[in-house]
Amino acid sequence: MSEEKENPFELTRSQYKEIKKMSREQMRVTLKEIYNQGVASVETTYVHPDDLRNAIGKINGIGEKRLDEIMAVIESFISGDDKE
């Protein structure tokens, strides 16, 4: 991968000078804006759990009991209950 794809953000000299002059509150607001821009730029894909259940259920050898176990594991990761 090129460095540009790994780090598309560029900090110019003028931006750097502006940041150095910022107060704590100005820095907080600026960082929050940068964070929100990053969050907005992330591509996500949503898969409905029922669609996932139906697709997994079509796999040969996966019965209802095993399917329930698989879905329980998936749901624990989605809800954040699976803490290591």
Residue 3 lies inside a defined structural domain of this protein: no
Q: How far apart are CA 71 and CA 20, in angstroms?
A: 50
- Enclosing domain of residue 63: 49-79
Residues 37 and 54 in one domain: no
* 9 or 1, which is more confident: 9
| CB neighbourhood size of 7 (10 A) | 8
Q: How many structural domains compose the chain?
A: 2
Q: What is the 3-state secondary structure (H, E, C) of 3-27?
A: HHHHCCCCCCHHHHHHHHCCCHHHH
Instruction: Output the pTM of the full model.
Output: 0.47
**Helix ranges (DSSP H) in the chain:** 3-6, 13-20, 24-41, 49-57, 64-79
* Percentage with pLDDT > 70 across the chain: 86
Ramachandran bin of 80, using left for φ above 0, alpha for ψ from -120 to 50, beta for the remaining angles: left
pLDDT band at 83 (very low <50, low <70, confident <90, very high): low
pLDDT at 69 (0 to 100): 95
Q: Please tell me whether residues 75 and 53 are part of one structural domain.
A: yes
